Amino acid sequence: MKAILVTGGGSGIGRAVARLFADKGWRVGLADIDATGLRDTAAMLPAERTSTHVMNVRDASQWEHVLAGFAARTGGRIDVVFNNAGIAAGGAFGDMAIDALDRVIDVNFRGMAYGARLSYPYLKRAAAEGGAGACLLNTASASAIYGTAGLAAYSATKFAVRGLTEALDAEWAAEGIRVRSLMPGFIDTNLLSIGVTGTNRTARDAVVDAGLEFTPVETVAQAAWDAVHGDRVHTPVGKTARRLTFAARWLPGRLRATMRKRSLGR
């Protein structure tokens, strides 16, 4: 039986992906810093194929402990690690508190890098044992397609995730490990409840005011399944992500002008 470890499994995209893979008959390990969220997600999944692991992705020793604990439940098998945990911080970069900047960098990139490095032996073993689907799946963002004003730190970390994904896709290919990323647009999850610095508005308010669409988490979950089993390195998810991908490639000047106008008009 195949097994997937999902970080950020207590809510949002992680919860939706866990539910989809469980429905497909996989064992699911849920990891999150939010113990209550973990319990809520686990209650939606088959108990005999689900385990929960409270973890701070910024701590390498916790990564080691959780990976070993999950592997002990699966007979040593981990086919997919969904490197998904992340946070957002909005507002003008010049006003951002240093501790908030550190936290975004630590969770969104340091946590991802730890997950990639420490899951490597497990994925290598799965690939060597005939696990054709051995895969590291990283959650990036549409903000990794073109930097987003008001989300500079978040965009920067997601560009780093994009770079890590591309590098490891090349580095691990000979060992049979797929490395993929998801680049979803705006998803109506807890990430959008962040306040915009200097205002009483949230990121969700800004998305609504701009007339942009929300992509359902179920759509992202299906994209995750397809990414794990497909050959595309990056998977844009939702209309916004697809439009950005097109514009960044074919209309970079117009995209830059649009982004500057939106920023100046905040």
List, for residues 201-239, the tens digit of each pLDDT value. 555 544 444 445 678 899 999 999 999 999 999 999 988
pLDDT band with cut points at 50, 70 and 90 for residue 252? confident
pLDDT at 266: 47
Give the residue with greater pLDDT, 193 vs 114: 114
Considering the segment(s) 3-264 as one domain, its CATH architecture is 3-Layer(aba) Sandwich (3.40)
Q: Could you tell me the pTM of the whole model?
A: 0.89
Within 10 angstroms of residue 133's Cβ, the number of other Cβ atoms is 15
Catalytic site includes residue 122:
no
The arrangement of strands across the sheet holding 135-139 comes to 50-54, 27-32, 3-7, 80-83, 135-139, 178-184, 234-237
pLDDT at 210: 43
Residues 185, 191 contacting (CB under 8 angstroms): no
DSSP 8-state assignment for residue 90: B
Residues 6+ apart with CB under 8 A from 193: 202, 203, 204
Residues 6+ apart with CB under 8 A from 204: 188, 192, 193
Answer yes or no: is pLDDT of 68 > 60: yes
In the chain, which residue ranges form alpha helices assigned H by DSSP? 12-23, 35-42, 60-73, 98-105, 111-128, 152-172, 203-209, 217-229, 239-250, 252-264
Task: Tell me the domain boundaries of the chain.
Answer: 3-264
Give the residue with greater pLDDT, 251 vs 72: 72
**Which residues on neighbouring strands pair with residue 28, listed in sequence order?**
4, 50
Answer yes or no: is pLDDT of 254 > 90: no
Q: Which amino acid is at 241?
A: A
Structure confidence by residue, pLDDT tens digits, 174-206: 999 999 999 998 776 555 555 554 555 555 544
